[in-house]
Amino acid sequence: MDAATITSWMREIDVAVRAERDHLVQLDAAIGDGDHGTNMVRGFEAVVQALGADAGTLVSTVGGASGPLWGSALRSGGRVLGEQMTFEGNQLVEVLSAALASVKDLGTAAVGDKTMVDALEPAVDTLRSRLHDGVALDQALDAAAAAAEAGMRSTVPLQARKGRASYLGERSVGHQDPGATSTALILRALQKAATKGA
């Protein structure tokens, strides 16, 4: 993988959040303020336009909680790669681990709080363990994306403990978390980008 993989990943995210914008809006309207789909589309549209620029674009363009969270995630992940021209699966695990750590730190969220962490953490853990077991990168990424999707679905019965949805208390139960949903899209986009580039 190389810089082109990252570029392709950002383009795949842009396509995915655009396709799922209305769904993300509906999910966020149920337990938040309904802006998540619009925010993610605006943010990644700006990222694609500014490809080669930095995660600051995302922070300033995506509204809501997701802008700072994804901005910080991508910046932390990017620091792992530095100026490296190419990278392997194990370094991708480090990138995603750094991204996860920054999200958990900034959002003070853990698995089970009904946030994007419910999708991101199992994806990172799955990618790490599959690669450790010697599974090929494309299959490991497919398993990681599937873990993010399972994590996304796991948020439905949970009561939100972080973010705006937590104000709803028990009324947040029965709704899929929008941040976990867009995170699953982002992990699936990574799998598509890496597979294309292979």
Q: Which residues bind Mg ion (CB under 5 A)?
A: 28, 32-33, 35-36, 64
From the CB of 165, what's the least distance to Mg ion, in Å?
9
From the CB of 189, what's the least distance to Mg ion, in Å?
20
From the CB of 144, what's the least distance to Mg ion, in Å?
26
C-alpha closest to that of 41 among 144, 190, 178 = 178
List, in sequence order, the alpha helices (H) in the chain.
3-19, 21-31, 36-49, 56-61, 66-81, 89-107, 117-132, 137-154, 178-197
SS3 of residue 84 by DSSP:
coil
From the CB of 84, what's the least distance to Mg ion, in Å?
35
Residue with smaller CB distance to Mg ion, 144 or 160: 160
| Rounded Cα gap, residues 157 and 174, in angstroms | 5
Residue with smaller CB distance to Mg ion, 97 or 115: 115
The two tokens of residue 73 are 């995630």
Residue with smaller CB distance to Mg ion, 64 or 67: 64
Residue with smaller CB distance to Mg ion, 42 or 128: 42
- Contact partners, residue 22, CB within 8 Å, separation at least 6: 37
DSSP notation for 142-183: HHHHHHHHHHHHHTTTPPP-SSGGGGGGGGGTTS--HHHHHH
Residue with smaller CB distance to Mg ion, 129 or 159: 159
| Rounded Cα gap, residues 93 and 109, in angstroms | 20
From the CB of 179, what's the least distance to Mg ion, in Å?
9
